[in-house]
Each structure stands twice: as structure tokens, then as C-alpha cells.
Structure 1
């Protein structure tokens, strides 16, 4: 939740008028994280304090995997434009050096737009494998590659802030693109 990248992204989106909520789960248990994500989403949907529509789910690494699991369980009658899309930063498609064991099953059941922001040198998301998965997905999707970035989005020879700025700009542009499609 307090990773510099996620803080930078939420600040950038908020400065452009988007309400951002970050939350965290302790531990690396994906089932626990999905359950927590569902609880937060349920709270936001039923809250009297917040009247939200057009929510984008997202996360970084395992957080994006948990968000994808939540997205694939959204029923068509629940969609009612509450959840508009999914943002996956450094989606962990496979363990390092285990490209034969893909974590793609949830991605194929998502129907709302998906943005992947991945490093072209991510040891947990080989470029050609993500592109093949994206082609098979039923959801409209886009992949934005950060050239030479690893799973942590570090790029040799580039400042962290420069990489953050590129990622933040692309995510904002994509959200605006999706929300503009809604107006047509």
C-alpha cells in the first residue's frame, strides 16, 4: 500500500480528479487477499458515505492478481457500471523461470477493459507470454511495456521518478480513454 509507486500513482490520479483508495493485506496468501479485496469493494458499493460509480480495480504484482480474481467473479447484473476496468501493474503471470505454469485462468473470465503495465524485462511476466494471453482474453485489453524494466519497474539508467511519471501518465490516459468510451 505504501510502495512509492502506488503512492505516486494515487497522488497523480487524485490531482486529475480521481478518488483513489489504497489498502493492504498482510501476508502473501492470495485467497486472503481476494477476500479482503471483495470486502473493500462491497463496502464501497454499499457505503452511504461514498456514492461511487465507474470504479477501476487495480494492484501491483500479487495485488493485481487479487484484483483480477475479484473482477472475474463480478456477475453481469452486478456490473451496472460500478466497476469499469482493471489495472494490472507488474502482473505476476508466472514464477521466475517457471513459464510453463501460467497464472492466467482468471484473466480469461474478465469482461471489463484491462490495462497491463509491465516491464519488458520482468522475470515474472515474459513479454511474449503476456501478449499471447492478452490475445486470448475476451475483455478488451491493452499492454503498455516499460522498456527494460524488471518486475519492480526499475530501469537501469533511468530515475525512479521518471519511470513513475511514464507509468502514471499511461494509466491516466487509459482511464480517460475508457471513461470517454462510456460517454459515447
Structure 2
């Protein structure tokens, strides 16, 4: 992976940086990702977004191929960490698949003193409709301080399911009321829309980040 391009929001001398990757099927500049970046910048954080090479290739007319295996994406995420200029604490994470990939490399980077936290926005605890295929084994012993912002009715891991998982005490969960995988609630049920939950998620991230080294 070469010539990594970043979208940057917020920032200031020495402020924490949050490096975010996108989900499996959508790029780094979706309305969701842009709203999160703006909201985190408003919390005093610097946000850097990047794309995995399979997604970046689509911008130049490449085919819409599915993501490669996690092993390759881990290497690309590590390359992004190395390419990003950062003079303050660094948190890695992302939307759905992006957060999952970050979670697979987090402890390695923490041990090397390169990051201080992990942020997952809508973690895919299991494939939709397949709750028996859990993606939580590495989360049971995770040592990296982590925040997972999850919709309470996320089809990839809803509140009632996740409450029964054996997750590391390093993981903090922020539940967004009636949110789906994009943290969007049913307005007819809650009386508010996605913006409310995105604002709540960004506020939770801002408070959590203040406690990181």
C-alpha cells in the first residue's frame, strides 16, 4: 500500500489523533464518516480518515470487489499508522470492518508504544443473521483501552446479545438508543434521528479520550 491519502479534520498541537478506516462496502467520505469526523473534531480531537487499497481503487474506475482477507487489511492499516504524521497520542479504529481490523492489531501497537486506544463504531460481533459465528475471541483478552459505540438493535451485535459475551475489562461499551449498524434509530420509536445518536457517540468518545495516556 503506497501513497496513502488522508482526510484530516480538527487538530492542534499535541492533541489526540483518531485514525479511522471505513466499513466493508463504503468509502471514507460517506455522510456517516464525515459526521463522525466533524463531531470528533468538535470534541477537540484530530481525525484522520484513510481507505484500504481495494476501496481507493474504485475511485479510479476499478471494479467493486469485496474486501480482501483480514491479514492483508491488517498490513494496510499498519502502513497507514506508519504513514500518518502524529505529534500527540494516537487512537486507531473505524466503522464496522475498519474497527474490526484495527482491533486485530491494537495490542501489537500498544505494546510498541505507538497507540493509546481503540475506537470501534458499530463493531461486527458476528455476521448479520449468524449470531453463532462470533468475532470476539481476540476481544476477550484485549489489553488496549477500547470504546465500542454500538446501536442497541445492531444486527451485527445487539444489546441483548453483547451483554452475554466475555469481553475484556479494557473494553467500554457506549450503547446508542435503538440504533442500527449506522447508529440510526427509528424516529417513530425514539422521537429523534441519527444525528442525535451520532452526537451522543462523539460526546462519549471525547470524554473517553480524555482519560487516555
Q: Which runs of 5+ in 1 are unaligned?
A: 45-49
- In the alignment, does 2:115 pair up with 1:115? no
- Spell out, residue by residue over 1:34-80, the C-alpha distance to the aligned partner (whole angstroms, 9 max, x if none): 22111011223xxxxx342310111011011011011133362x12x
Give the match's secondary structure for 1:142.
strand
CA distance in 1, matches of 2:110, 2:184: 37
Moved beyond 3 Å, runs of 4+:
none
Aligned-residue Cα RMSD (Å) equals 1.9
Q: For residues 109 and 41 of structure 1, do their structure 2 counterparts lie closer, same or farther at Cα, with a shift above 3 Å needed?
A: farther
CA distance in 2, matches of 1:83, 1:71: 8
Q: Which of 46, 57, 67 is the equivalent residue of 1:28?
A: 67
Residue pairs, 1:34-183, within 5 angstroms: 34-44=74-84, 50-74=85-109, 76=111, 78-79=112-113, 82-133=114-165, 135-137=166-168, 139-157=169-187, 158-176=192-210, 178-179=211-212, 182=213
Give the match's secondary structure for 2:51.
coil
CA distance in 2, matches of 1:33, 1:165: 29
Give the match's secondary structure for 1:125.
coil
CA contact (8 A) 1:72 1:109 kept: no
- In the alignment, does 2:41 pair up with 1:14? yes
Q: Which runs of 5+ in 2 are unaligned?
A: 1-27, 56-65
CA distance in 2, matches of 1:136, 1:159: 29
CA contact (8 A) 2:99 2:119 kept: yes
Normalised by the length of structure 2, the TM-score is: 0.72
CA distance in 2, matches of 1:97, 1:15: 36
Give the match's secondary structure for 2:108.
coil
Alignment size in residue pairs: 169
Normalised by the length of structure 1, the TM-score is: 0.82
